[in-house]
Amino acid sequence: MRILIIGGSVFLGRAITEEALRRGHRVTTFNRGVSGVDLPGVEAVRGDREVPADLDRLVEGREWDAVVDVHGRVPRIVGESVRRLNGRAGTYAFVSSISAISDFPTRECDESSPRYECAPDAGREDGDYGTLKAGCERAVEEGFDGNALIVAPGLILGPHEDVGRLPWWLDRISRGGRVLAPGDPDRAMQVIDVRDLAAFILTRTEAGVNDRFLASGVRGNITYGGWLDECRAASGSDAEFVWADDAFLLERKVEPWTEFPLWAPDVPDFAAVWLPSSAKAHAAGLTCRPVAETVRDTWAWLRDVPAGERVFRGHGIAPEKEAAILDELGRR
């Protein structure tokens, strides 16, 4: 197949590109060349999707069997890409987010759950991330003349992660010592490896389907304590986990999800964060590797990244704040 990947050089886009090349597809990537490096073997077209002249240059003299749009976040901009690519590809696969579902993360959800209200021509000022992703979905569904494939991932982890959640924990735990661990170690999670998600997106794209899927992994595929144990094992660390319950940390203004990546306290706002259903995706061929493999492979990549170049995107508790809480726990 001839596949155009809008993005294609960072994390999920990189994984999709790598898998497409492995399968023998002819791949064109379209990006600014700023965030990452294109993989060998692709036709790399430089440009900004927000610049009409760049889109015109992209489509001039080219056609594809399918488009995979990895990084669309603004409905109006996604809609412009859709208009330019109408008639030049048979399938438009759009990577959305579980955050487009208005019930998430307070209620269990699947493909039938309501999405946020957002117009397909909304601008970036018209909503937050999840709201705008819902508008992007509509821009593809309502604007593309061929097959519209929508895949809404849950929590994605794996090698080359540019968000910083698993990398922060691996970095922190690898340094050893007493490590503050948040919440209930037995709380079940649900995460998906970026490579498994990439393979599923490509398989559904190859099938030329007009459909939507929620792809978030397997319920309970690891516990929070098990996840941190895997980080310790992968990095060969001597870290000692010091667990603090949700209420204790919230009283001390520790920010859920960010200061301790993926810490979701047992409160109504996070009641169903680990409970989305990927049953439809599994029935359509989604397979998920053990989380331990994801953690090991992420460390194998991260350990070769110089400490000063590791990206955490604002994730992680400040060392002095962690030390103060550990000291308080030690005096109890």
Which of 311, 172, 289 minimizes the C-alpha distance to 231? 172
How many other C-beta atoms can be found within 10 angstroms of the C-beta atom of residue 62?
15
Tokens, residue 172: 């922190």
Tell me which amino acid residue 266 is.
D
Give me 109's structure tokens: 């959800």
Whose tokens are 């859709």? That residue is: 82
Return the H-helix or E-strand segment holding 73.
none
- Domain residue spans of the chain: 2-153, 159-189+221-275+291-331
Nearest to 15 by CA among 287, 155, 197: 197
Residue 107 has φ and ψ, to the nearest 5°, of -135, 155
Helix (H) or strand (E) holding 181: strand 178-182
- Rg of the Cα atoms in the chain: 20
Paired tokens of 163? 């968000």
| Cα 223 from chain centroid (whole Å) | 19
CATH of 2-153, one of 3.40.50.720, 2.60.120.10, 3.40.50.300, 3.90.1640.10: 3.40.50.720
Furthest-apart CA atoms within the chain: distance in Å: 70
Q: Which pLDDT score, from 0 to 100, does residue 196 have?
A: 98
Give pLDDT tens digits for 177-227.
999 999 999 999 999 999 999 999 999 999 999 999 999 999 999 999 999
C-alpha–C-alpha distance, residues 103 and 275, integer Å: 11
Instruction: Read off the pLDDT band of 274 (50, 70, 90).
Output: very high
- Helix runs in 146-207, H state only: 165-174, 194-207
- pLDDT tier, 8 (very low <50, low <70, confident <90, very high otherwise): very high
- pLDDT bin (cut points 50, 70, 90) of residue 331 is confident
Span 52-95, pLDDT tens digits: 999 999 999 999 999 999 989 999 999 999 999 999 999 999 99
Q: Which residues, listed in sequence order, are joined to residue 137 by a DSSP beta bridge?
A: none
Buried b (16+ CB within 10 A) or exposed e, 294-325: bbbbbbeebeeeeeeeeebeebbbeeeebeeb
